[in-house]
Amino acid sequence: MTDTSTSIRMSAGTRIYLYVSLSLVAALVLVPLVATALGGFKSLGELRVNPFGLPREWHWSNYLDILFGDRYWRQMVNSLFIAVMTVFLTVVASAMAAFTLAHVKFFGANQLLNYFLIGLMFPAATAILPLFIRIRDLGLLDTYWGVILPQVAFGLGMSILLFRNYFRNLPEELFQAAFVDGCGYIRFFWHISLPLSRPIIATVSIISFVNSWNSYIVPLIMLNSETKYPWPLGIMVYRGEFGTQWQLVLAFITLTILPTIIVFFLAQKHIIAGLTAGAVKG
Amino acid sequence: MTHATATMTAPSAVPTAKTRYKSPTVRGRLPVLILFLPPALLLFTLFVILPMGEAAWYSLYRWNGYGSPEHFIGLRNFQVLFNNAAFSTALINNGLIILASLLLQIPLAIWLATMLAHKIKGAVTFRLIFFLPYVLADVAAGLIWRFVYDGDYGLFAAIAGFFGVATPYVLADKNLAIYAVLAVIIWKYFGFHMMLFIAGLQAVDKNVLEAAEIDGARGWQKFRYVTLPLLGSTVRISVFFAIIGSLQLFDLIMPLTGGGPLNATQTMVTFLYTYGVMRMQVGLGSAVGVVLFVICVTLAFGYKRIFMRHD
Amino acid sequence: MASVELNDIRKNYGTLEVIHGVSLTIEDGEFIALVGPSGCGKSTLLRMIAGLEEITDGEVMIAGKVVNPLTPRERNIAMVFQSYALYPHMTVAENMGFNLKLSGIAKPEIERRVSEAARMLALTDLLDRKPSQLSGGQRQRVAMGRAIVRDPAVFLFDEPLSNLDAKLRVQMRTEIKSLHQKVGTTSIYVTHDQIEAMTLADRIVVLNQGNIEQVGTPLELYRQPANLFVAGFIGSPAMNILDGIVDADNGQPAVRLGDGSAIRIAPQRKVRPGQPVKIGLRPEHFAPTGAGSIVSGRTLLVEPTGAQTHVLFEFAGSHVTAVVDGDHPARHGAHFEAVADGEKVYVFDGSTGVAL
């Protein structure tokens, strides 16, 4: 099936079979998305009779009202702030911990790694109630930090694993050369490990950004005021309010997923590599 | 032998009172340990390990979350849980999701991956399109499909109208809803698994396939006897992720059905949310967490031990 | 520049001792090669001198000072690694100046010293390149440049040429030698290649299983190997070793081999009749004619290398290699005959392997 031998030309039959099958699946993926985007341009009445096709009349107001209101932007900014802080703290905390686990020999290093790897085994949902109580007791309920800190904590297992494996694969002699040149651990981390780790920093950042950007259950439980809601929460509230006016909901969905889609197509290589790296290298 | 030649120093040069020197590699360890470990360790312990431990503790109490847990009821929460019809449905649904992943999603992913391994024009574009649902948030995907399934305005309504049959309200039908949900899960996640298989295929040595060709293997035979066995470790990873993913499924269900109708589409996490969080039954919710934790850990260890030993 | 002294150095990994008390004195400005088969402990020893490996027991002194508790930098040593260990994200100039930068030396001074070292190593045009843009030989020179800019007390080389192809290796060997002649810094050079050790070093230390077998100048090791191990290790192709018993051949001291043939040995060898011994015959010491014992047998293999030809033949139940002139008419299956001069036959004790 994987005869990519370039020298042999594919038969026309194979070619047709491939394109027809692939196009069919692609249509199944794209039709709901396109119908959503187009639906945002329609009136409710038209949606009822013609959910598939191009709108007879383009109702730009559905989109423009959302874009000129502050609700959409506030949610985007909330999501962005939470995601950026999550990424920053995850990268800093996990890179430092992974560095000590990879390079500093100390009693219990392996046990400590295994301790962090426990985090890979169960989702945040498992401990969501005690987590809620902890955040409440810390006075962080309904704050951004009440969302950020648990998200960082649950991302640590995978991030530490990725960083540690990467640091481990840096040649041992590099460390020794730096030691001879006068580096201690901290200088080595700063001058050698970090500058050489750009690919893995990118991977960890992408994974934790996407997770945070799309995160639903943690903010759902930790936040109460709508002004602090990230977009997955906001979109649910919006849908609750305008439940019967599908054209508005569709426009809202389209606008909220638009940044994801744009960024995905701009940086597809890095994003795909990053999101699958966790699976392959972890 | 060490003192064999004249250039060697006499044994008397060895210090009589043995001084112990601290190795230079040990020095400097302490500052890095003190600076670098605590942030991660603290966050992880405070927000991952302790809550998990507390879940085990709270699960033995009846508690509404205020004050401290005092009403000790032993394992009663677990008893309630396993006698609860909705929780049984949730367990069955989680099983169904795993089954659908194994029987539909992974074969679909392998099929697409092998097709995209051909050097055809547009392969990269197809790959991108297939991966697209995976990067969308579960919540957005759930809402989009809620629209698709909508009996009044959605695509299903239009399709039914086109064929002149009565519009099915699939998400409101307690027998159909779970299958509608399964379809969305496959739609959302097949691209991720496909990427794993594309990566796996790229690692397959082309010479081995050519050798099989010279041995007379045809298309399907080549796939069945050479490619598929070589993809073994990828299949195992893929299955592992399908299982773990199904156990934590929540975000996608909420916008689609919220676990309804009549609890027909509950999963363990939506059950936890509906009965534990919404009603502030900390003990019962924690008990669900414990069950989920035990299942996850058992599966992770068992699976690693049985299937991934050699990877 | 400084002398280096090792006093009864030991290294344990848990209960396993891998270096069994090594003592050695290296003079100021000397070039010492540590050779031995892989796993003999030569790299471990070097890394203990460098301060990269903990010293379980014993003392390392540099310039008369005990350096055990000091970091590599405080020991003022520089090291050239097998993989060069250049920092991939830094330019050649940054690589060479990194240790100066870390010790807070002013920029102009760093630049001056880097460019001086670069000139010495013909790296001036490459200073702005990254290591990935350099050839193997150039990387090797950068690694050496990094070592010399800081003007260390001791240079340590850990198999620095083993990643290069054969031709470049010979060229870099010459460069290292001329560099040492120019700067005169005490150097310790680890290699498994005895030719590298022979050509570069003032003295060679042969290590085996964590013990020093012999220390001496290259020619001492070649001419007077202290034991069977050194004899087998130094010289290429390796020395032929045959078992025998001390006997007399027409009143001359000789060794009787398994098949009854006798090989005469020098009269000054301290042997007694009936003593089981091993004799060593260097392949290049076989002469076509002259005084000595005749060694002959069926030719098994002929390997011409140009100026010389290696002939493998059967003798006294063993396979023996001889190096003969390239014009020698040796032929597979034919009879081969050569003469072994008794003065050049090595004799070792049959059980301890010590030279007699």
Distance CA A43, CA A46 (A): 5
Instruction: For residues A275 and A174, state if they share a domain.
Output: yes
Is the Cβ pair C83, A173 closer than 8 Å?
Answer: yes
Please tell me if residue A15 touches chain B, with a CB cutoff of 8 Å: yes
> Closest-CA residue in chain B for A117?
B44
Domain-embedded: residue A4: no
Asked whether B144 and A32 are in contact (CB, 8 A), the reply is: yes
Mutation test of the interface with chain A: which of B59, B105, B144, choosing the one with the most A Cβ atoms within 10 A? B144
Nearest CA in chain C to A179: C72
> Measured between alpha carbons, how far is C156 from C189 in angstroms, rounded to an integer?
6
Structure tokens at C52: 């990269």
CA dist B48 → A43, A121, B27, B55 (Å): 47, 11, 32, 11
pLDDT for position B26: 60
pLDDT tens string C91-126: 999 999 998 998 889 999 999 999 999 998 889 999
Closest approach of B23 to chain C, Cα-based (Å): 5
**Which of C79, C80, C155 has the highest number of chain A CBs within 10 A, making it the mutation to test binding with A?**
C79
Which residue on chain A is closest to B43 by alpha carbon? A153
The full set of domain ranges for chain C reads: 4-225, 240-349
Between chains, do A123 and B137 touch, taking CB under 8 Å as contact?
A: no
Report the alpha-carbon distance of residue B249 to residue B269 in Å, rounded. Answer: 7
Which of A171, A173, A181 lies nearest to residue C99, judging by beta carbons? A181
Q: How do strand C186-191 and strand C31-35 relate by DSSP bridges?
A: parallel
Question: Would residue A210 count as lying in a domain?
Answer: yes
Q: Is B26 on the interface with C (CB under 8 A)?
A: yes
Cβ–Cβ below 8 Å for B147 and A249: yes
SS3 readout for chain A: CCCCCCCCCCCHHHHHHHHHHHHHHHHHHHHHHHHHHHHCCCCHHHHHHCCCCCCCCCCHHHHHHHHHCHHHHHHHHHHHHHHHHHHHHHHHHHHHHHHHHHHCCCCCHHHHHHHHHHHHCCCHHHHHHHHHHHHHHCCCCCCHHHHHHHHHHHHHHHHHHHHHHHHHHCCHHHHHHHHHCCCCHHHHHHHHHHHHCHHHHHHHHHHHHHHHHHCCHHHHHHCCCHHHCCHHHHHHHHHHHCCCCHHHHHHHHHHHHHHHHHHHHHCHHHHHHHHHHHHHHC
Question: Is residue B198's pLDDT more than 70?
Answer: yes
Are the Cβ atoms of A253 and B143 closer than 8 angstroms?
yes
CB contact under 8 A, C7 and B13: yes
B119 near A CB under 8 A: yes
Distance CA A218, CA A229 (A): 11
d(CA B2, CA C211): 6
pLDDT of residue A280: 59
- Beta carbons of B21 and C20 less than 8 Å apart: no
- Which pLDDT score is estimated for B208? 83
Q: Which residues contact A227 (CB under 8 A, 6 or more apart)?
A: A74
Which band of pLDDT confidence, cut at 50, 70 and 90, is reported for residue B24? Answer: low
The predicted structure's pLDDT at residue B309: 60
In the structure encoding, which two tokens stand for residue C91, read together? 């330019």
- Distance CA(A212)–CA(C273), nearest Å, equals 88
C85, C98, C102 ranked by CB distance to A176: nearest:
C85
C11 torsion bin: left (phi>0), alpha (psi -120 to 50), beta (else): beta
Which SS3 state, helix, strand or coil, does residue B109 take? helix
Q: Is C293's pLDDT higher than 80? A: yes
Rg (CA), chain C: 24
Q: Looking at residue B167, what is its pLDDT?
A: 77
Show the low-confidence residues of chain A (pLDDT under 50). Answer: 1-7, 282
Among chain B residues, the shortest Cα distance to A138 is held by: B46
Residues of A in contact with C80 (CB under 8 A): none
**Mean pLDDT value across chain C:** 90
Chains that touch C (3 or more CB pairs under 8 A): A, B
Reported as a pLDDT band with limits 50, 70 and 90, residue C271 is confident
CB contact under 8 A, C102 and A176: no
Question: Which residues, in sequence order, are bridge partners of residue C59?
Answer: C7
3-state helix/strand/coil string of C175-204: HHHHHHHHHCCEEEEEECCHHHHHHHCCEE
Kindly state whether residues A95 and A56 are assigned to the same domain: no
CA atoms within 13 A on the CB side of B37: 19
Contact C355, C248 (CB under 8 A): no
Task: Give the closest-approach CA distance of A209 to chain C in angstroms.
Answer: 26
Which pLDDT does position B52 carry in this prediction? 92
- CATH architecture of residue range(s) C240-349: Beta Barrel (2.40)
Best A2, A16, A156 residue to mutate vs chain B (most B CBs within 10 Å):
A2
Whole-number pLDDT of residue B260 = 77
Query: Does residue A6 sit within a domain?
Result: no
CA distance A12 to C178: 68
Rounded average pLDDT over B133-162: 88
Please list every residue in chain A whose beta carbon sits closer than 8 Å to the beta carbon of residue B269.
123, 125, 217
Query: Which backbone phi and psi does C233 adopt, to 5 degrees?
Result: -85, -40
**Which of B16, B23, B25 is the best substitution to test chain C (most C C-beta atoms within 10 A)?**
B23
- Chain A residue at shortest CA distance from B183: A28
Q: Which two tokens stand for residue A87?
A: 């990424």
Cβ of B5 under 8 Å from any chain C Cβ?
yes
Q: Is B143 helix (H, G, I), strand (E, B) or coil?
A: helix
End-to-end CA distance of chain A: 28
Average pLDDT over residues C251-257: 86
Asked if B126 and A22 come within 8 Å (Cβ–Cβ), the reply is: yes
| Interface contact flag, C52 B7, Cβ < 8 Å | no
Say if A173 falls within a structural domain: yes
Instruction: Please tell me the distance in Å from A208's CA to the nearest CA on chain B.
Output: 12
With cut-offs at 50, 70 and 90, classify the pLDDT of residue B23: low
Q: Which two tokens stand for residue B257?
A: 């059905």
- A178 and A258 part of one domain: yes
CA within 13 Å, CB half, C175: 19
Q: Residue B244, CB half-sphere, CA atoms under 13 Å: how many?
A: 20
CA distance C14 to chain A (A): 15
Residue of B nearest to A151 (CA): B47
Res C289 pLDDT > 90? no
C-alpha triplet A28, A32, A36: angle, nearest 5°: 160
CB B219 within 8 A of CB B67: no
Q: How far apart are CA B105 and CA B32, in angstroms?
A: 46
pLDDT, residue B15, reads 43
Domains of chain B: 54-83+280-311 (no CATH), 93-262 (1.10.3720.10)
**Chain B contact set for A184 (CB, 8 A):** 28, 31-32
- How far is it, in rounded angstroms, from Cα A97 to Cα B19? 35
Asked whether the ipTM of the predicted complex exceeds the cut of 0.85, the reply is yes
Q: Residues 173 to 202 of A: which have CB under 8 A from any C CB?
A: 173-174, 176-183, 187, 191-192, 195-196
Number of domains in chain A: 2
For A211, nearest residue in chain B (alpha carbons):
B137
A3 belongs to a structural domain: no
Residues in C touching A185 (Cβ below 8 Å): none
Tokens of B126: 């197809």
Q: Say which residues have a Cβ less than 8 Å from residue C163's Cβ, sequence separation at least 6.
A: C82, C83, C84, C136
Question: If interface means Cβ-Cβ distance under 8 Å, which residues of chain C face chain B?
Answer: 5, 7-8, 20-25, 51-55, 57-59, 66, 68-72, 74, 203, 211-216, 226
Q: What part of C 70-89 touches A (C-beta under 8 Å)? A: 71-73, 77-79, 81-83, 85-89
Predicted pLDDT of residue B288? 94
Residue A1 located in a structural domain: no
Are residue A94 and residue A203 in the same domain, yes or no?
A: yes
One domain, residues A79 and A185: yes
Please name the member of A22, A118, A130 whose beta carbon is closest to the beta carbon of B115. Answer: A22
A83 chain-B contacts, CB cut-off 8 A: none
Cβ distance A272 to B131 less than 8 Å, yes or no, reads: yes
CATH number for the domain including A186?
Answer: 1.10.3720.10
| Sheet bearing C262-264, strands edge to edge | C262-264, C252-257, C240-249, C276-281, C346-349
Find chain A residues with C-beta within 8 A of C78's C-beta. Answer: 180
pLDDT band at residue C62, thresholds of 50, 70 and 90? very high
Q: Domain span at residue A146?
A: 64-281
Nearest to A121 among B195, B199, B296 (CB): B296
- Taking domain C4-225, whether its CATH number is 1.10.3720.10 is answered by no
Per-residue pLDDT at C356: 84
| A56 and A68 both lie in a single domain | no
Strands C65-66 and C186-191: unpaired
Comparing A116-120, B209-213, B240-244, which segment has the lowest mean pLDDT? Answer: B209-213
Question: Which of C7, C22, C54 is opposite residue B23, by nearest beta carbon?
Answer: C54
pLDDT at C1: 61
Residue A39 and residue A103 in one domain: no
Residue B243 in contact with residue B303, Cβ under 8 Å? yes
> Tokens standing for A104?
């500093």
Tell me what pLDDT residue B12 has. Answer: 39
Is there a domain that residue A254 lies in? yes
Same domain, A56 and A173: no
Verify that A174 and A257 share a domain, yes or no.
yes
Judging contacts by C-beta atoms under 8 Å, the chain C residues touching residue B8 are: 23-25, 212, 215
Q: Which of B216-220, C199-203, C214-218 has the lowest mean pLDDT?
A: B216-220
In a domain, A5, yes or no: no
Q: Do C212 and B18 touch (CB under 8 A)?
A: no
Token pair 């085994």 is found at A121
Inter-chain Cβ pairs, chain A and chain C, closer than 8 A: 54
B13 touches C: beta carbon within 8 Å: yes
Does residue A159 share a domain with residue A56?
A: no
Q: What residues of chain B lie within 8 A of the CB of A242, using their CB?
A: none
